[in-house]
Chains A and B, each alone.
Chain A
């Protein structure tokens, strides 16, 4: 969550504690919903059925500071209590450690509106599900400084990841890297042919790191360029959503698949037999999208 925004939104609900973050340009949103069963004790509060549950946001750095060193925390902390005191304007984080030591952190919070991204995974035309490891192995081929990546579909059910080169950058100077994954590397593939979306790699890497550590499969829901891409992780006690804005196709009619400098048009065959050659020559992409789809709203 700290990879996305500087503020941590806490929203206790009947179905669990939701932790959320959004970035300053409102183009990335993430939420982690911990079910009541995740906790030893969960009391969302609220005096009666009509009372709205209290929401707040705190500085991400303050919150993270309490859990600074995970290895030493694992050794010394037995329990952690999170207590929201609206009247005292404090979020209390209390660590019950070994030898009777209790560390209490009082964080100042701000009341806030409900933070919710508008998205609907059901209405997405395409869906991919893969073990986090496969996606992590794919993403490792791109430099850490790369801003955006394009996820696309090709013939034979193959899925591609390609670094996105901005139009302003000189195509003759930028290296283009493309990776192809076979359909059977995924747990499920249900994609609209010829579809592609471009999104920011930084936040995605953050989620991938979490997914890999928790050994959870990652589902990617996407639609036309410009509509948000939604990444989800599911567990019995945890529901994770990461929603990222995608680049819209500004001139979809004039935009050929070779905008990024990598053409998929068949190459004239030369005398040398080459597996790669015929493989690339067999690929064709179709034009995707039309007009200007609405940009995601948060």
Chain B
């Protein structure tokens, strides 16, 4: 089992770093899955995570100049590692002016991801900063716990409003309540609502548009028979929503959410090189 990768382009380093910063806001610990072509950051919906789960996928070719991975076995050419993304975020923070960043899986006393940052310096040789991030190797028998979650059978799918606007609304609402209700319909309307003993606040968005999901076996086409005005709602932990929005450092190409009434809200944020799915369960 071997992993070694290198980034020499500063823009790629910073882009990768921004993605890791987003992940670090969403998960204290997560799984990094390495395959020949892709990297995945996975958070499974355990109780410890408050039931929220995450699936983030990026193509290594868009970031790394060198990428060499040998999985646990020939038929299972993948590596699953458990790590604290905040550590990786901190390590990459030092790479803002780097000439090169090398990442390597090592096992000196315990398995570590060694991030070596080559920094420019006025002296003849470069400065090298290494960060040894402890990781846990996930055995193959547990890989099934981390499969890609399927898109739920949603009631409504809708594009999100401008994330910056949504973020500032949610941040203010967070001061008033611990829970927020997201509701939306198939006419491009979405409401964000909070209600406490003293006050209730609702923010209305309209003309958002509903994404056209291809009906595979006709199951989604039931939307045609549905009332376009009726709202599907779910009450979720406001902090989780705020963390998702606050972690977005760049505007996504597409941002949408799927609501299963009273069950779960499934957020999909798509950028050119990375896709992020985040599931927040509804509070009973």
B141 an interface residue at 8 Å Cβ cutoff?
no
Q: Does A82 contact B (CB under 8 A)?
A: no
Q: How far is the CA of A175 from the CA of B130 in the complex (A)?
A: 10
Contact at B128–A179, with CB atoms within 8 Å?
yes
Q: Is the CB of A184 within 8 A of B130?
A: no
- Which of B84, B94, B104, B125 is in CB contact (< 8 Å) with A182? B125
Select one of A175, A178, A180 contacting B134, CB under 8 A: A175
Other-chain contact of B130, A140, A173, A174, A177 (Cβ < 8 Å): A177
- B131 (CB) vs chain A CBs: closest residue: A177
Set of chain B residues within 8 Å of A174, measured between Cβ atoms? 134
Determine the chain A residues whose CB is within 8 A of the CB of B121 once the complex forms.
181-182, 185
A270 touches B2 (CB 8 A): yes
Known A-B contacts A143-B90, A179-B129, A185-B122; the reply to A276 vs B108 at CB < 8 A is: no
Q: List residues of A (266-285) whose CB comes within 8 Å of B's CBs.
A: 267, 270, 272, 274, 276, 279
13 further interface pairs, Cβ-Cβ under 8 Å (given A175-B87, A182-B124, A263-B108): A141-B94, A143-B90, A171-B109, A171-B134, A175-B91, A180-B129, A182-B121, A258-B109, A261-B109, A263-B109, A276-B102, A276-B104, A276-B116
The B contact surface, by secondary structure, is strand
- How many of chain B's residues touch chain A, expressed as a range? 20 to 34
Contact between A179 and B127 (Cβ–Cβ < 8 Å)? yes
Which residues of B does A touch, CB under 8 Å? 2, 4, 68, 84, 87, 90-91, 94, 102, 104, 106, 108-110, 112, 116, 121-125, 127-134
Most chain B Cβ neighbours within 10 Å, of A143, A171, A172, A263: A172
Is A125 an interface residue, CB under 8 A from the partner? no
A263 to B112, CA, bound (A): 12
A: number of interface residues (CB 8 Å): 28
Interchain nearest-CB distance for A170 vs B (Å): 9
A141-B94, A143-B90, A263-B109 known; A182-B131 Cβ under 8 A = no
Give the A-B pair count, Cβ closer than 8 A.
81
Kindly supply a per-residue 1/0 record for chain A positions 66-92, scoring 1 wherever the CB is within 8 Å of any chain B CB and 0 otherwise.
000000000000000000000000000
Q: Do A258 and B108 touch (CB < 8 A)?
A: yes
What residues of A have a CB within 8 angstroms of the CB of B127 in the complex? 138, 179-182, 185
In angstroms, how far is the closest chain A Cβ from the Cβ of B8? Answer: 12
Question: With A and B bound together, what is the CA distance between A174 and B90 in angstroms?
Answer: 13
Q: In the complex, which residue of chain B has the Cβ closest to the Cβ of A260?
A: B132
Q: Is A190 an interface residue (CB 8 A)?
A: no
CB of A262 within 8 Å of the partner chain: yes
A selection of 16 A-B contacts at a CB cut-off of 8 Å is: A141-B94, A141-B129, A175-B84, A175-B91, A175-B131, A175-B134, A176-B132, A177-B91, A177-B132, A178-B132, A185-B123, A261-B110, A262-B130, A267-B106, A270-B2, A274-B104
